[in-house]
Amino acid sequence: MSHNEATISEQASGLPAIQVYNTLSRDKESLVTVKPGEVGMYLCGPTVYKPSHIGHMVGPVIFDTVKRHLAYSGWKVTWVVNITDVDDKLIAESSRRGMTMAALAEEMTADYLENLAALGVTSIDEMPKATDHIGTIITFIEGLIAKDRAYASDGDVYFDVQKDPDYGKLTNRSVDAMQGEGGSTADRKRSAADFALWKKAKDGEPAWESPWGPGRPGWHIECSAMSEAILGDHFDIHGGGLDLVFPHHENEIAQSESLHDCPMATYWMHNGLMQASGASGKVGGRPRGEAGEAESIEAQTAAKISKSTGAEPFKTLLARHEPEAIRMLLLSTHYRSPIHFGEEPLAESARALEAFRRLFARNERVCGTSFYALPSRTRQLGDVAVAAAGEEVTALRSKFLTAMDDDFNTAIAIATLFDYVRVVNKYIDQHQLEANKPEAELATLAAMMDTLRELTGVLGLFVAPPKASGGADEALVGQLMELVIEIRANARKSKDFATADLVRDRLGAMKIVLEDRADGTGWSRKS
């Protein structure tokens, strides 16, 4: 209700109406920002103790797309992704590898950043590290203690869940039902669900001085402290994987809202988790009550990819698959749904990519312009420019944008792009643009491609040409292919189809496809 007035003011500033699914309300809500025209967005980033795997890439790709769409639509977006570089897991891993925690964190952060870059996640504005914000964190904790929401206990500091009346509101949990972490810390806490804000250092552990003695931050506090420092007490969108809803985000809310007496984030967005399709058996998680029956062999079970499943490092995945196919796969399912991941789905995405790239190549033959060289556009510019591309394209663009405005429905957006490709191909077919080159029609084609570039840019797809797959001899291969094609063309001219077909078949065996078009013969590699 209260959103309505603000929605109007948001629209008054010329911004489109956007719906966002909010985990807090379990419903879609209109986007109304704290500051009109600006969006502050925080995504929980990785704990950098191991090389990242595909699961770590889901959130960044999705929120990169969210940011692209909001920025394209006219908001000024500030996107923060934190790096958690102090944590029990880092301590354990670094001592196992005989290196300092800082060195481990640096290595794994570099790995993470390279993987993001490969996927085209380029729009992160700030990546604060927990260890750069120890002071912020300590001040935050002191604030909570001063408000009697937290208490020191033998060098630790805990958040007092009993003092927080709406604790559990994000996940609909009651404090009583909470078991909390057991073990040695249990007797230092007032109630089981209390969680650590500050942990006392044991001998030899990395430690920072604090009012409670040497120690390190607990898990959730760095996000509360750093989001406050960069985005303020109340910002717009907080994101993360569904597995973080509890306890991580629940606890962030508890800390931040107890200290600030205002909402931490207006919208809580959670992405679905990667599932390894075809994985056998259940992996990880709490065992279900009874002993499991024998797994049916044919049964396609899926299991969340996590540290416990031993998902392969993203780097080795990249050795086998194009990053763009991975991005395409991540965006072709709605972001709140689980994504089935595996070799087969990836291969299918790669095939989907080809339909677009064939059109780009076709356009280049006709117009001489590279798709990748086309400039990106804002939404407002596109509103005007699209008319030149014709009615069908105008309708598709509007369908695309409606889908994106409705909780970032990238699946529908991509579906309209497939329709789009068909419309353009048909246009080229019908006007025989490859044979003749009538100026007016070429201009329309160019307008179509401009708008396609506008839309794919929103998804972060096809922003750069794919890396050449071949080695150093690529130029030589090109020359040889020209020669082979010329010789084959002569055979065809003299109706020696046996020779022409032999050449094509033998090349096919080498995964090279020949296409005899009206304007000549082209070749491409088959994936």
Partner RNA sequence: GGCUCCGUAGCCAAGUGGCUAAGGCAGCGGAUUGCAAAUCCGCCAUCGUCGGUUCGACUCCGACCGGAGCCUCCA
Contact pick of 68, 304, 377, 379 for RNA (by CB under 7 A): 304
* Per CB under 7 A, 241 contacts RNA: yes
In the complex, the smallest distance separating the C-beta of residue 89 from RNA, rounded to whole angstroms, is: 5
Contact flag: residue 26 with RNA (CB under 7 A): yes
Among 99, 207, 242, 447, binds RNA (CB under 7 A): 242
Closest to RNA by CB, 5 or 515: 515
Residue 52 sits at φ, ψ, to 5 deg, of -75, 150
Does the footprint of RNA cover residue 232 (CB under 7 A)? Answer: no
Contact present, 194 and 164 (Cβ < 8 Å): no
Choices 116-124, 372-380, 417-425, 465-473; region in contact with RNA by CB under 7 A: 417-425
Told to check if 130 binds RNA by CB under 7 A, we report no
188, 234, 321, 358: which one contacts RNA (CB under 7 A)? 358
Selected range binding RNA among 113-121, 201-209, 229-237, 352-360, rule: CB under 7 A: 352-360
Give me the sign of the Cα torsion angle 357, 335, 407, 121. Answer: negative
Is 334 a binding residue for RNA by CB under 7 A? The answer is yes
User: For 191-251, what is the HEC assignment?
Assistant: CCCCEEEEEECCCCCCCECCCCCCEEECCCHHHHHHHHHHHCCCEEEEEEEHHHHHHHHHH
- CA 304 to chain CA centroid, nearest Å: 17
The stretch among 117-125, 139-147, 306-314, 316-324 that binds RNA (CB under 7 A) is 306-314
C-alpha span between 55 and 465 (Å, rounded): 25
34 or 217: CB nearest RNA: 217
Shortest Å, Cβ 381 to RNA: 26
Closer CB to RNA, residue 362 or residue 453?
362
- In the DSSP assignment, the letter for residue 322 is -
The correct pick among 41, 58, 161, 366 for binding RNA (CB under 7 A) is 58
User: What is the footprint of RNA within residues 266-285 (CB under 7 A)?
Assistant: 271, 273-275, 282, 284-285
Q: Is 393 in the site for RNA (CB under 7 A)?
A: no
Residues 198 and 277: their CA atoms lie apart, in Å, by 39
Is the distance from CB of 108 to CB of 48 less than 8 angstroms? yes
Tell me whether residue 40 or residue 168 sits nearer to RNA (CB atom): 168
Amino acid residing at 450 = D
CA distances from residue 159 to 13, 125, 186, 256 in whole angstroms, order as listed: 41, 30, 13, 11
Q: Which residue intervals of 372-438 are DSSP H helices?
A: 379-385, 391-405, 410-430
Residues 198-227 that bind RNA (CB under 7 A): 199, 218-219
Give min distance, CB of 427 to RNA, in A: 9
| 3-state secondary structure at position 61 | helix
Strands 339-341 and 274-277: parallel
Q: Which of 88, 126, 142, 405 binds RNA (CB under 7 A)?
A: 88
Question: How many residues touch RNA (CB under 7 A)?
Answer: 88
- 480: Cβ contacts below 8 Å, ≥ 6 apart: none
Q: How many CB atoms lie within 10 A of CB 474?
A: 10
**Residue 128 within binding range of RNA, rule CB under 7 A:** no
The reply on whether position 433 binds RNA by CB under 7 A is no
Q: Does 147 bind RNA (CB under 7 A)?
A: no
Instruction: Determine contact, residues 33/263, Cβ cutoff 8 Å.
Output: no
Task: Give the DSSP letter of residue 470.
Answer: S
Residue 493 binding RNA, by CB under 7 A: no
User: Closer CB to RNA, residue 32 or residue 433?
Assistant: 433
